[in-house]
Structure 1
Amino acid sequence: MNFVAWAIVACEVLFWVVILAGFSARYLFKRQKLGLFFLALTPVLDLILLIIAGIDLYNGASATTAHAVAAIYISVSIVFGKSMISWADERFRYYVTKQGSPPVKRYGMDHARHYFKSWLKHLLAFLLGAGILYGLIIWIDDPARTEALFGILKTWTIVVGIDLLISSSYFIWPRKAKA
């Protein structure tokens, strides 16, 4: 596994570490500013990953799947970051601190609309990530060095299409509450 792949793993692990540190500071130690500081580190991790991947490519490395996944990671983090933190915050408050109400379970049209909004975010992340990937392809300007980027872009296009089909299916066959 190359350096960029390890950087992705490290950034993902650190993302959840700083989230948990932020929630712990906020809820367990009642340190609001410290909690905000930790939560504010999440975009810094994206920037670090972008710099690592960019330097690697600038130094002549052929773009690998890891470089493509870095672009996906960054775009998904930008688009879904706030909602992922809110999701984790709600669960941390309820399950760890025993405060607040239980996380909402969605069914029927409410679930379908919620999932469709999530698909729209997925589409936005795809457009942002595809822009990054396409920008890298133009910047490198060597088809032999960017083949992996094209491959991931094709695969992600299919995944977004499948996600749309799944999202649409919830309007036809709404999710039902368990009896």
Structure 2
Amino acid sequence: MIVTMIVICEVGFWVLLAAGLAARYLLRMPRTGAALLLCEPLLEVVLLVVTAIDLRNGAEPSWTHGLAALYIGYTAGHGHRTVKWLDGHAAHRFGGAPRPAGPPEYGMARARHEGAVWLGTVVAAAVASVLLLAASWYVGDASRTGPLHAWIFQAWRVTGIHGVIALTYLVFPRRAPKRAERDGGGGEGEAREDREPVRAER
């Protein structure tokens, strides 16, 4: 049942997102569009309530409950960024707004971007951990809550890996490629002249 609810919430997320953007930019109803987008968090509330009821009814804590907590955490940490990105592109495509700038590619600007994305993962892991700890307390039986605690470890393990990847952009910043000189390319010309006699000898 929990997996089914996760699928329903994921489908509902994209349906509400599409409906909200369509109302805002195609139907020119910005308030209705904003209201639909604000309904997104209600999906996570429904999933949380269903998970709590499932545990309350005596369901054995399992990976499905951990997955539900991670899903809610991911939405909390990265959902807003996803909505903002799609809203910017919809505004450009249907509202005449300028094309949204993509993420920076080089230097410290890219490092800051990757750091901000990693902070979203930290928020996701923190929210998931709080929910899993609350679920463990709710069950009240340490012998049954092992799978929930395992998901907490996995959440922070993924966060650590993501943090290392983000750190590489700070320690080894990507450098913009140098533009080729446009002053006649003297170096290449000299190289060609040096090679001419060699071709003649052959």
TM over 0.5: yes
Matched AA of 1:112: A
* Alignment check: 8 A CA contact 1:91 1:103 kept: no
- Return the alpha-carbon distance in structure 1 between the equivalents of residues 17 and 125 of structure 2: 24
Match of 1:26 in 2: 24
Cα pair distance change 1:34/1:177, threshold 3 Å: farther
Cα pair distance change 1:89/1:177, threshold 3 Å: farther
Write the deviation string for residues 39-95 of structure 1: whole angstroms up to 9, x where unpaired: 011011111111110100000001121211111122222233322210111122234
- Return the alpha-carbon distance in structure 2 between the equivalents of residues 95 and 30 of structure 1: 14
The share of aligned pairs that are identical, in percent, is: 31
Ranges in structure 1 where 5+ consecutive residues have no aligned partner: none
Match of 1:161 in 2: 160
Structure 1 residue 98, shift from structure 2 partner: 5.8
Write the deviation string for residues 2-58 of structure 1: whole angstroms up to 9, x where unpaired: x01110111011101101110010001101121012101101111111111010000
Match of 2:172 in 1: 173
Ranges in structure 2 where 5+ consecutive residues have no aligned partner: 180-202
Match of 1:113 in 2: 112
- Return the alpha-carbon distance in structure 1 between the equivalents of residues 168 and 96 of structure 2: 35
SS of equivalent residue, structure 1 residue 143 = coil
Cα pair distance change 1:175/1:8, threshold 3 Å: farther
Write the deviation string for residues 92-141 of structure 1: whole angstroms up to 9, x where unpaired: 22346564224323112111101101212211221221111111112212
SS of equivalent residue, structure 1 residue 103 = coil
- Return the alpha-carbon distance in structure 2 between the equivalents of residues 70 and 177 of structure 1: 41
1:42 paired with 2:9, answer no
Task: Report which stretch shifted further, 76-85 or 125-134.
Answer: 76-85
Q: Which has the higher contact order (CA 8 A, sep 6+)?
A: 1
* Alignment check: 8 A CA contact 2:78 2:120 kept: yes
- TM-score normalised over the length of structure 2: 0.80
Matched AA of 2:11: V
> Map of 1:27-106 to 2, 5 A cutoff?
27-95=25-93, 99-106=97-104
* Alignment check: 8 A CA contact 2:24 2:32 kept: yes
Matched AA of 1:141: G
Matched AA of 1:27: Y
- Return the alpha-carbon distance in structure 1 between the equivalents of residues 73 and 121 of structure 2: 9
Structure 1 residue 176, shift from structure 2 partner: 5.1
- TM-score normalised over the length of structure 1: 0.89
* Alignment check: 8 A CA contact 2:70 2:155 kept: no
Matched AA of 2:23: A
SS of equivalent residue, structure 2 residue 144 = helix
* Alignment check: 8 A CA contact 2:103 2:113 kept: no
Task: Report which stretch shifted further, 85-94 or 8-17.
Answer: 85-94
